[in-house]
Amino acid sequence: MATERDDENPFLLHGALPRFDRLEASLVEPAIRALLAESEAALAGLEADLEPTWSGLVEPLEWIGDRLGYAWGLVGHLMGVRNSDALREAHAKVQGDVIAFGLRQAQSRPIYEGLEALREGPGFAALDAVQQRIVESLLRDARHAGVGLGASERARFNEIQTELGELATRFGNHVLDATKTWAHVCHDEAEMAGTPDSLRQITAQNAREHGFPEATAEAGPWRLTLDAPVLLPFLEHGQHRGLREALYRANVTRASSGALDNGPLIDRILALRHEMARLLGFESYAQLSLDAKMAPDVAAVDALLEQLREASYDAAAQDLEDLRGWAREHGQAEPIALWDQPFWAERLREARFDYEEEALRPYFPLPRVLEGLFALAERLFGVSIMAADGETPVWHRDVRFFRVRDERGELLASFYLDPYSRPGDKRGGAWMDECLGRTRLAGDDGVRRPVAYLVCNQTPPVGDRPSLMTFDEVLTLFHEFGHGLQHMLTRVDCGLASGIRNIEWDAVELPSQFMENWCYHRETLLGLSRHVDTGEPLPDDVFEKIRAARTFRAGSNMLRQLYFASLDLALHRADPAATGESVLDVQARVAARTTLLPPLPEDRFLCSFGHIFAGGYAAGYYSYKWAEVLSADAFGAFEEAGLEDREAVSRTGRRFRETVLALGGGTPPMDVFERFRGRAPTPEALLRHSGLAA
């Protein structure tokens, strides 16, 4: 582990818990440039004198990547949670050089030939299965990085990679800035009619922070934004139809005009991705993407998406008819519009299931939800999670730190939790990322313990009350915790395949979506709920209504995800220049098969679709549904064991831990699933959980 000197740049404290109290934008460039020089020298030395063995080649490659990855990972993390102009400038200065070094290493002919010699040599058979898979993955990654290209093609490939990195960063920054820029201040209480107290509290607090110091939840003014904890509750509860429309239109046109327009960036990104795929010998970027995933090919993904579309389309059509009828009966003369759907869906859900989502918030204060979540982890996986706040610096006062131990009290891992929305400097959405990965190459006792970041954007506390969570926010927390478990409970000691590393992208959502299922389990949900004022658990009858409501609008919800997944594939499966279709043409074509209310003519939601243009989901958004098949089927094992049988659940949970959570990227995901389940996955459990089974 790293030892710290007072004068040392904190970005260089490789392997240590980060000194977030000392990480400043001004330190980024000198740290990264020093590491790039060190890494270049190490790589050149390895190329000049490598042995085609595990210790002579693979371990040095891991060490080079780990040192640079630690520092660059910190920079990327801060870009997401503590963004600033100074940090953006520092990131931009070195990003191109970081990408260039990554390509330099991936395209190294001596390294590639050394890996080939290792694979073909007599020593390969002596490697264990994890090591063999790593070697194969490194060879595939090198091919995808252009190692086989000629000099001129490789130069062009590298130009593409550098530009794509810059475009992704600009895309994300534009979305953050556009979200931060738009606001509407309500001075007239009529504009807030129907909205819950929790929304009034947060929007009044928002107003106080932006020039209205006297704002109160009762009297306003209230500052509405496009931040999810504001936008979604207003669309669901705001009775002012014109203002719902304004927010909806602003949201689907974010980052689509002026200096923040991502439209030209999308066209350029798609063109560059297609050119890159063709350079590597693939017909399309979709084909390139699938070459490194669990799904065998694009046709297999098409088949699953179509199977799910056929199962959900008629149900979604009925959902829409139900909404239209309900809205007519309750006074809306105008046809249902896109900004009406969330509002009337919430009214219909309240009527059918006799509870209001907002009324659930007091039952889910964050501290109690965490207690219940950690109790579930102990019951299923035999781990204890204890708060360790103050043991290490954090990047914001709201961030918490936790330690994870096994049954004997041995430290397994740690994680940071950054739960609340901060639209000023934190990007939206929720994610898990690694701070440190498990590896035997570094550690006081031979193994470095993994450390994770869990980041959400839930409703922040107001006043002296804790954050009161919606049920959806509880689901999101469970989801990200599932990712964290796979990172933290890995038993793989090779850093190149431990935790979430080297797991095919369409399998990586398995543990996260699996954990969501427990929010519909009586003992779990009642155990994590305590009314913030009375201490009473969630009433039994309300739990039954929540469980019954799980399938409410399941057809619509599934069709929405299929729209995103199908659009993503459609954008990446052909040459944009050759087809003559614009991005909007493709969107309209896909929407005709996967939506019932077509997008607005001015809809530009793709301009804020960071998953595929600034994240890792390009030609891979289908992964959510692919992995949901796996996760639902995995939860089916617990259902078959008997959810009320604590011993059976515990036994099944330990088996899940020793397969899905422990094996990480060291074993092909189909093998991992079959070791846990005893057979290949099927979509029946997903359709059954969704209420869409035939």
H helices of 399-470, in order, are: none
Q: How many of the other CB atoms lie within 10 Å of CB of 4?
A: 13
- How far is 166 from 156, CA to CA, in rounded Å? 16
The mean pLDDT of 504-530, rounded to a whole number, is 96
- How far is 66 from 63, CA to CA, in rounded Å? 5
Contacts of 9 (CB under 8 A, 6+ apart): 27, 30, 31, 34
What is the per-residue pLDDT for 369? 98
What is the per-residue pLDDT for 578? 86
Q: Which long-range contacts (CB under 8 A, 24 or more apart) does 520-523 make?
A: 520/546, 520/547, 520/550, 521/643, 522/547, 523/643, 523/644
Strand 400-405 and strand 411-420: pairing? antiparallel
pLDDT tens digits for 276-331?
A: 999 999 999 999 999 999 999 999 999 999 999 999 999 999 999 999 999 999 99
What is the per-residue pLDDT for 424? 85
What is the per-residue pLDDT for 2? 46
What is the per-residue pLDDT for 169? 96
Question: Which residues partner with 224 through β-bridges?
Answer: 184
Q: Provide the pLDDT confidence category of residue 1 given band limits of 50, 70 and 90.
A: very low
Estimate to the nearest angstrom the gap between the alpha carbon of 640 and the chain centroid.
29
The letter for the amino acid at 690 is: S
Q: How many secondary structure helices (H) and strands (E) does the chain include?
A: 27, 7
pLDDT tens digits for 671-689?
A: 999 999 999 999 999 999 9
Q: Provide the pLDDT confidence category of residue 486 given band limits of 50, 70 and 90.
A: very high
Q: Which two tokens stand for residue 420?
A: 């609340």
Which residue, among 333, 372, 330, 357, has the nearest Cα to 232 in the 3D structure? 357
480: annotated active-site residue: yes
Phi and psi torsions of 188, nearest 5°: -95, 120
**Res. 594: pLDDT tops 90:** yes
Q: Which two tokens stand for residue 514?
A: 């699996």
**Res. 6: pLDDT tops 60:** no
End-to-end CA distance of the chain: 56
What is the per-residue pLDDT for 442? 65
CB of 403 within 8 A of CB of 389?
Answer: no
Q: At what angle do helices 554-572 and 298-329 cross, to 10 degrees?
A: 140
Q: Provide the pLDDT confidence category of residue 390 given band limits of 50, 70 and 90.
A: very high
Q: At what angle do helices 228-237 and 241-252 cross, to 10 degrees?
A: 140
- How far is 520 from 547, CA to CA, in rounded Å? 6
Pick the CATH number of 10-148 from 1.10.645.10, 1.20.1250.20, 1.10.10.60, 1.20.1050.40: 1.20.1050.40
pLDDT tens digits for 179-233?
A: 999 999 999 999 999 999 999 999 999 999 999 999 999 999 999 999 999 999 9
User: Which of these is catalytic: 62, 236, 357, 480?
Assistant: 480
What is the per-residue pLDDT for 357? 85
Q: Provide the pLDDT confidence category of residue 693 given band limits of 50, 70 and 90.
A: confident
Q: Provide the pLDDT confidence category of residue 579 given band limits of 50, 70 and 90.
A: confident
Helix (H) or strand (E) holding 434: strand 431-436
- How far is 346 from 332, CA to CA, in rounded Å? 15
Q: Provide the pLDDT confidence category of residue 585 given band limits of 50, 70 and 90.
A: very high
H helices of 109-227, in order, are: 109-120, 129-144, 151-181, 197-208
pLDDT tens digits for 73-83?
A: 999 999 999 99
Average of per-residue pLDDT values in the chain: 95
Rounded to the nearest 5 degrees, what angle is found at the Cα of 478, between the Cα atoms of 476 and 479?
60
Q: Quote the radius of gyration of the chain (alpha carbons, Å).
A: 25
pLDDT tens digits for 629-647?
A: 999 999 999 999 999 999 9
Q: Is the pTM of this model over 0.75?
A: yes
In the chain, the percentage of residues whose pLDDT exceeds 90 is: 94
pLDDT tens digits for 410-461?
A: 999 999 999 999 988 999 899 999 999 999 986 556 899 999 999 999 999 9
State the SS3 of 256-296. Answer: CCHHHCCHHHHHHHHHHHHHHHHHCCCCCHHHHHHCCCCCC
Q: In the chain, which residues fall in CATH 1.20.1050.40?
A: 10-148
- How far is 433 from 452, CA to CA, in rounded Å? 6
- How far is 523 from 38, CA to CA, in rounded Å? 53
What is the per-residue pLDDT for 3? 45
The mean pLDDT of 19-25, rounded to a whole number, is 97
Mean pLDDT check: name the lowest of 384-388, 501-505, 578-582: 578-582
Phi and psi torsions of 680, nearest 5°: -75, 155
The mean pLDDT of 485-489, rounded to a whole number, is 98
Q: Which residue has the tokens 């964290």?
A: 484
